[in-house]
Amino acid sequence: MTSVLYDAPGPRAKRRNVLLSVLFFVLLLLGAWWAWSAMSDKGQLEWAKWRPWLADSEAWTTYLLPGLANTLKAAGLAMVIALPLGALFGISRLSDHVSVRVPSAVVVEFFRAIPVLILMVFANQFYADYTDISVDARPMYAVVTGLVLYNASVLAEIVRAGIQSLPKGQTEAAKAIGLRKGQTMTSILLPQSVTAMLPALVSQLVVIVKDTALGGALLSFTELLNARKTAASFYASVIPSFIVVAVVYIVLNLLLTTLASWLERRMRRSKKSTGAVVGPGALDELETIGPKTVKGPDHGYGDNSAGAG
């Protein structure tokens, strides 16, 4: 491996690397052994605690799957509602008119600065005070509302980055054939930017899926984390339930990130596109390096830092 940090290893460096490998591996084994013995001390390794999750379908059909369905429902709804809103605000931020540009910038920056939990708590109380949504349905409404408010503003930034990532020639050509501003946006820029943004949109779904868990912990929304709580007390199985639920989240989100990076690679290869791709790190790029930079393939797809928990 040649990198900016190391030369290709010679014989001594190779020996040292093998030694370090072994040392680190032993360290990891020690850590794993400690965790294992701590768990067996507390009786968390007993088959009775694992059986409901691994060998019995009841825990899944009664608790986890309905919880997962609610998680996915809330995340999907939030994405579908937030997307048009985000597109609207993203386009408004690029408007030529100060009277449109500035207010939408204020709205977007405001909702991006506020924790999504604050928005959820607000929405929950708002629905309790001013609407007649039933108590059972309220947490779902509150979670989706909070997610929509926050993610619409994040998506607005992604849309803005998507439109700005298109080559200038696209706008110039549209002008040259006599399209008006609105036509340029709706028939030239938006369709192209939507495909360019697809990887960033999919990876934003990861943030949304993770944030639904807030509703489970604080608003008694019966999503996956909350379903775990009920199931764990029913089966008296704490650590296994956490491990199982964490694995579900990890698999789900890894699928989404894999999809996002696959889309990104596919789009970069595609001969039809203008070559503009907004990767999952779109927001970092927008604020730090400047709007015109397109994310290089070298960065890895990791970020989601703009999103909350």
Which residues ranging from 90 to 119 are in contact with other proteins (CB under 8 A)?
109-110, 113-118
Strand, coil or helix: what is 214? Answer: helix
- Least separation in angstroms between residue 214's CB and other proteins is 5
Provide, rounded to whole angstroms, the least separation between the CB of residue 276 and other proteins.
20
Give yes or no for residue 308 binding other proteins (CB under 8 A): yes
* Shortest distance in whole angstroms from residue 18 CB to other proteins: 9
Q: Which is nearer to other proteins, 57 or 305 (CB)?
A: 305
Q: Is 146 in the site for other proteins (CB under 8 A)?
A: no
CA distance 215 to 116: 10
Stretch touching other proteins by CB under 8 A, among 96-104, 123-131, 137-145, 158-166: 123-131
Residue closer to other proteins, measured from CB, 3 or 57? 3
| Cα separation, 54 vs 64, whole angstroms | 12
Residues 6+ apart with CB under 8 A from 90: 155, 156, 157, 158, 159, 160, 162, 163
* 273 forms part of the interface with other proteins (CB under 8 A): no
CA distances 38 to 41, 74, 236, 239, 271, Å, are 5, 37, 18, 11, 55
**234 near other proteins (CB under 8 A):** no
Q: How far is the CB of 239 from other proteins (least distance, A)?
A: 6
The b-or-e profile of 200-218 (16+ CB within 10 A means b, else e) is bbbbbbbbbbbbbbbbbeb
Binding flag, residue 1, other proteins (CB under 8 A): yes
Output the smallest distance, CB 68 to other proteins, in A: 13
Rule CB under 8 A: which of 29-68 touch other proteins? 38-39, 42, 44
Of 79-87, 97-105, 160-168, 207-215, the window that binds other proteins (rule: CB under 8 A) is 207-215
Burial class (CB in 10 A: 0-12, 13-18, 19+), 110: exposed
Q: What is the DSSP letter of 296?
A: P
13 binds other proteins (CB under 8 A): yes
**How far is Cα 75 from Cα 239, in angstroms, rounded to an integer?**
26
**Interacting residue with other proteins among 249, 259, 265, 273 (CB under 8 A):** 249
Q: For residues 49, 50, 51 and 52, what is the CA-based torsion angle, rounded to 10 degrees?
A: 80
Residue 199 in the binding site for other proteins (CB under 8 A): no
Q: Decide: is 297 part of the binding site for other proteins (CB under 8 A).
A: no
CB of 6 to other proteins, least distance (A): 5
Q: Does 292 bind other proteins (CB under 8 A)?
A: no
Q: Which stretch binds other proteins (CB under 8 A): 162-170, 178-186, 253-261, 268-276?
A: 253-261
Residue 289 lies near other proteins (rule: CB under 8 A): yes
Tell me which residue of 79, 34, 40, 33 sits closest to 205, measured CA to CA: 79
Tokens of 4: 């900016």
Q: Segment contacting other proteins (CB under 8 A): 79-87, 169-177, 180-188, 298-306?
A: 298-306
Q: Could you tell me the two tokens for 277?
A: 């791709």
Minimum distance from residue 204 beta carbon to other proteins (Å): 13
For residue 217, how many C-alpha atoms fall within 13 Å in the half-sphere facing its CB?
Answer: 7
Q: Of the candidates 211, 260, 261, 276, which one interacts with other proteins according to CB under 8 A?
A: 211
